[in-house]
Amino acid sequence: MTDSVKLNAAGKDLDLKVMSGSVGPDVIDIRKLYAQTGMFTYDPGFTSTASCDSAITYIDGDEGVLLHRGYPIGQLAEKSSFMEVSYLLLNGELPNKSELDGFTHTITRHTMLHEQLASFFRGFRRDAHPMAIMCGVVGALSAFYHDSADITDPQQRMIASHRLIAKMPTIAAMAYKYSVGQPFLYPDNSLSYTGNFLRMTFGVPAEEYVVNPIVERAMDRIFILHADHEQNASTSTVRLAGSSGANPFACIAAGIACLWGPAHGGANEAALNMLREIGTVDRIPEYIARAKDKNDPFRLMGFGHRVYKNYDPRATVMQQTVREVLGELGVTDPVFDVALKLEEMALNDPYFIEKKLFPNVDFYSGVILSAIGFPTTMFTALFALARTVGWVAQWNEMISDPEQKIGRPRQLYTGPTQRDFVPLADRS
């Protein structure tokens, strides 16, 4: 391992420090590069740039490894719960029984929304996309809860974090209820975090809602699979927004906005819509051809990843969960057959092999969410619900970093050089 690299730039010979983490690629410390050379590095899309150091999540894209505070995602998905993983992401260690009970108690008692927030939903059209509602209502939380807005106070940061983790299921369920014209249901503290979400979503005041334990377990596992993922686009958005000292609820609303894009969290909705459009196995070759056609903007949604150049370990767990849930619910869905066949054909196609395109977490999630009863428009809202714990964990890590400063990238300027103003009368 080298402790520095040499660079000759602007006529100077520089020794740039190399920093090593606990695992993964080393980094070249270029913080003084501009001061020493008058030059910037250039990396749109940040394909080779570490924006921070973090101890929360580690991904090895070549090996298909995903660790949360060192624990492999497969073990967490199989043996843990979303509340336990949330505690782990926030605090760095798995909780003991009393810590887990205390954390769950705290989260459970923050699930209610300020009653005035219910009226925010009524300002939306009934056909508003749930992610539009999530952006609006989560942003509106910054107009409430002023007792947890002082980000310099670790106590207030943790209360804001707990409130966000607790209220996202309530807001997501309300967004769904509003879209189908059914009344909102208040949280039920006797239920688990995930059971409470299912009841608020699918329950009605007219009768008791009984949580299906198979669905509850599958939903909880889906939340675990979506909890955090290193410095992805929406997490980077939350970090950048938070770096200015902005209101924590407003920062999470910014993350929701970024996640909505079809290249990111919106891919789960797009993937199921694509599978439904393909419809039958015999139409798969037509879509694979389109995905390979440089003149066709069509991409196989749910395929490919900036980091994973091997299988996304979350897709593996998701596919297994689809099999279990469809089997246990006695549901068959031709879309799942199309998904399995599409994966098989793509993974044997030289284009996808050469470009290292594998199914990602979004490829199968829609099949199971649809089987549970969610409309496709709710899929990304569920992703946002789960990813909120990752966003707040990363936000807390950034704010509590003594070296933290506002994020302010530079640019390669390609516009006009200085020129004098031309009065209107003199313009042709």
Residue 25 three-state SS: coil
User: Torsions phi, psi of 9, nearest 5?
Assistant: -145, 145
**Which of 64, 255, 302, 313 is close enough to bind ligand SDX by CB under 6 A?**
302
Q: Residue 293 CB, nearest distance to ligand SDX (Å)? A: 10
Question: Is 227 within 8 Å of 89 (Cβ atoms)?
Answer: yes
Residue 208, both tokens: 């008791």
What b-and-e string marks burial along 277-303, b requiring 16 or more CB atoms within 10 Å of the CB? ebeeeeebeebbeebbeeeeeebbbbb
CA–CA gap between residue 157 and residue 174 (Å, rounded): 25
In the annotation, is 312 catalytic? no
Q: Interacting stretch for ligand SDX, rule CB under 6 A, among 101-109, 168-176, 263-271, 397-405?
A: 263-271
248 vs 235: CA distance, rounded Å: 13
Residue 304 sits in the site that holds ligand SDX (CB under 6 A):
yes
Task: Name beta bridge partners: 185.
Answer: none
Of residues 159 and 362, the one with the C-beta less far from ligand SDX: 362
245: left (phi over 0), alpha (psi -120 to 50) or beta: left
Q: Which is nearer to ligand SDX, 248 or 304 (CB)?
A: 304
Q: Decide if residue 380 touches ligand SDX (CB under 6 A).
A: no
Segment 203 to 232, residues that bind ligand SDX, using CB under 6 A:
229, 232
In whole angstroms, the minimum distance from the beta carbon of 352 to ligand SDX comes to 7
In this chain, which stretch among 16-24, 90-98, 264-272, 369-377 interacts with ligand SDX, using CB under 6 A? Answer: 264-272
Alpha-carbon distances of 318 from 64, 132, 213, 226, 314, rounded to whole Å? 14, 26, 17, 11, 6
361 binds ligand SDX (CB under 6 A): yes
DSSP 366-409: HHHHHHHT--GGGHHHHHHHHHHHHHHHHHHHHHT-TT------
Residues 307-346 contacting ligand SDX, CB under 6 A:
307
Known catalytic residue at 426? no
- Which of 129, 305, 312, 401 is flagged as catalytic? 305
Kindly identify the residues of this chain, within the stretch 32-91, that bind ligand SDX according to CB under 6 A. Answer: none
Residue from 355, 373, 401, 409 in contact with ligand SDX (CB under 6 A): 355
267, 318, 339, 372: which one contacts ligand SDX (CB under 6 A)? 267
Please say which residue, 216 or 362, places its beta carbon nearer to ligand SDX: 362
Q: Which is nearer to ligand SDX, 232 or 247 (CB)?
A: 232
Distances (CA, A) of 154 to 16, 63, 112, 148, 151: 35, 36, 23, 10, 7
Residues that bind ligand SDX (CB under 6 A): 229, 232, 263-265, 267, 291, 299-307, 355, 357, 360-362
Catalytic site residues?
A: 305, 362
